[in-house]
Amino acid sequence: MKFQRQLQIVSFFFIALINPAYSDVAKGKELSASCVACHGVNGISLNPVWPKLAGQNPKYLAAQLYEFKKGPDGNRNNAVMYGIAMTLSDSDINNLSDYYASLKPTVGVVKDDYLELGRNIYRGGNMDIKMQACISCHGPNGQGNYAAAIPMLSGQHSQYTYQQLKNFQISTRSNDYNKMMRNIVHRMTDEEMKAVASYIEGLY
């Protein structure tokens, strides 16, 4: 037993050495205590203006926390999130991101009035205004792209998604790589944004 314990300790340090981003999900769960009020016990927020975090791409979550941590100097300034993120170390961010990524996501429903328009935009974009389809980056089921840190959209609250699209449109949020989101949404109408946000909520 003693040898087994020593082997576990050596293995832990070896993993940490070759992978600086090694994280501890259990510690992430402890840290999440301060997130529960907004994001829910299992990463499923009850208020639709706050995002669901369960099952989200950990690379994406970490990138957002680092951006929030910059406060007014960053490209995603939010007073509440700044106050929380500024207290987190790099390891805290990794642990928290991997914890939320380990949780089971949920899916909502699409409003009937928005189904056809939302589906058309998500899957086909809008060729009349040369608007790229969401599916090209976020995937057919809204699972995103892990390697590229592109977020999972599947099941996200439509109110939250719509607000983020608006934020990109008016550039109050500008942390999208190479202006990718801003170049798309500046050509979208409110109705189109609401429709695709509703479609995303029921996408799985």
Q: How far is CA 50 from CA 100, 148, 186, 200, in A?
A: 15, 24, 23, 15
Catalogue the E-assigned strands of 49-164: none
Domain 112-201 in the same topology as domain 23-38+46-101: yes
| Cβ-count burial 135-165 (b if 16+ within 10 Å, e if not) | bebbbeebbbeeeebbbbbbbbbbbbbbbbb
Contact 39, 51 (CB under 8 A): yes
* Predicted confidence (pLDDT) at residue 10 exceeds the cutoff of 70: no
Task: For the domain covering 112-201, report its CATH number.
Answer: 1.10.760.10
Contact 92, 186 (CB under 8 A): no
Least-confidence region, from 10-19, 27-36, 51-60, 154-163: 10-19
- Compare 2 and 79 and report the one with higher pLDDT: 79
User: What pLDDT, in 10s, does the model give residues 158-184?
Assistant: 999 999 999 999 999 999 999 999 999
Instruction: Grade residue 20 by pLDDT with cuts at 50, 70 and 90.
Output: very low
Contact 158, 200 (CB under 8 A): yes
Q: How many CB atoms lie within 10 A of CB 30?
A: 14
The amino acid at 63? A
Q: Domain coordinates of the chain in residue numbers?
A: 23-38+46-101, 112-201
| Cα distance between residue 121 and residue 107, in whole Å | 19
Instruction: Grade residue 21 by pLDDT with cuts at 50, 70 and 90.
Output: low
CATH 1.10.760.10 applies to domain 23-38+46-101: yes
User: What pLDDT, in 10s, does the model give residues 49-83?
Assistant: 999 999 999 999 999 999 999 999 999 999 999 99
**Which residue's structure tokens are 């941590």?**
69
| Cα distance between residue 47 and residue 50, in whole Å | 6
* Predicted confidence (pLDDT) at residue 14 exceeds the cutoff of 70: no
Sign of the alpha-carbon dihedral angle for 67, 13, 101, 185: positive
